[in-house]
């Protein structure tokens, strides 16, 4: 196992194996942010604008109990360093509309800020190209500013929103942002 220029252990990417499931599920997806994205109505639709919040928002996602589907169109790629899973992306190809959905993406907190999330997203886009998807699509809460910034840097743009998606859940009151990019 090599190291990077900054002396950190190198990160490798590979298809997830069944024995990776526990490691993937144990990755802490919580975040703390001092900014959120507010939805603003425009003459032609909607836009999102980053704004500061005080105190910072800390969000821990509830265990949805879903795990990876046993679907032939679902794939998970893991990022690994020093023999341990440190991140993952799960994608689902929807054949009927040629859309590759990023169902879940996570990077363990000690490994954030190293480009692992961006590299995992690029692998999702590459999968989209291989399977003939026209675009890659995802959903993120407006509170998750770190993720929204990552997605924007990766070429994703706001393509829709839903103010009621989280009704009746622990995330009630949050706005679901839908983002996509061509393959």
Residue 169: phi and psi, rounded to 5, are -120, 175
Q: What is the pLDDT of residue 181?
A: 98
> Cβ contacts of residue 51 below 8 Å, gap of 6+?
35, 36, 37, 38
Closest CA to 106 of 165, 25, 182: 25
- Which segments in the chain show pLDDT lower than 70? 1-7, 64-70
Q: What is the pLDDT of residue 9?
A: 82
List C-alpha distances in Å: 110 to 81, 86, 113, 116, 169.
Answer: 12, 9, 9, 11, 28
Q: What is the pLDDT of residue 179?
A: 98
Q: What is the pLDDT of residue 83?
A: 94
Closest CA to 102 of 140, 67, 145, 72: 140
The helix/strand/coil state of 176 is: strand
Q: 157 and 181 in contact (C-beta within 8 Å)?
A: yes
Classify residue 19 by burial, with Cβ atoms within 10 Å: 0-12, 13-18, 19+.
Answer: exposed
Q: 108 and 47 in contact (C-beta within 8 Å)?
A: no
Q: What is the pLDDT of residue 69?
A: 55
Q: 54 and 65 in contact (C-beta within 8 Å)?
A: no
DSSP 125-144: HHHHHHHT-SEEEEEEETT-
Q: What is the pLDDT of residue 70?
A: 60
Q: What is the pLDDT of residue 8?
A: 73
């Amino acid at each position: 196992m090599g190291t990077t220029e900054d002396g950190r252990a190198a990160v490798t990417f590979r298809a997830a194996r069944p024995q990776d499931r526990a490691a993937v599920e144990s990755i802490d997806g919580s975040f703390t942010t001092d900014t959120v994205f507010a939805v603003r109505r425009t003459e032609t639709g909607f836009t999102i604008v980053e704004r500061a919040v005080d105190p910072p928002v800390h969000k821990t996602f509830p265990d949805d109990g879903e795990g990876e589907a046993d679907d032939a169109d679902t794939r998970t790629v893991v990022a690994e360093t020093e023999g341990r899973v440190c991140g993952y992306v799960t994608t689902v190809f929807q054949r009927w509309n040629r859309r590759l959905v990023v169902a879940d993406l996570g990077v363990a907190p000690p490994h954030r800020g190293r480009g692992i999330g961006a590299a995992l997203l690029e692998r999702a886009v590459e999968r989209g190209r291989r399977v003939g998807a026209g675009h890659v699509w995802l959903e993120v809460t407006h509170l998750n500013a770190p993720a929204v910034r990552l997605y924007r840097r990766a070429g994703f743009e706001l393509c829709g929103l839903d103010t009621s998606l989280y009704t009746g859940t622990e995330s009630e009151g949050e706005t679901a942002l839908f983002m996509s990019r061509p393959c």
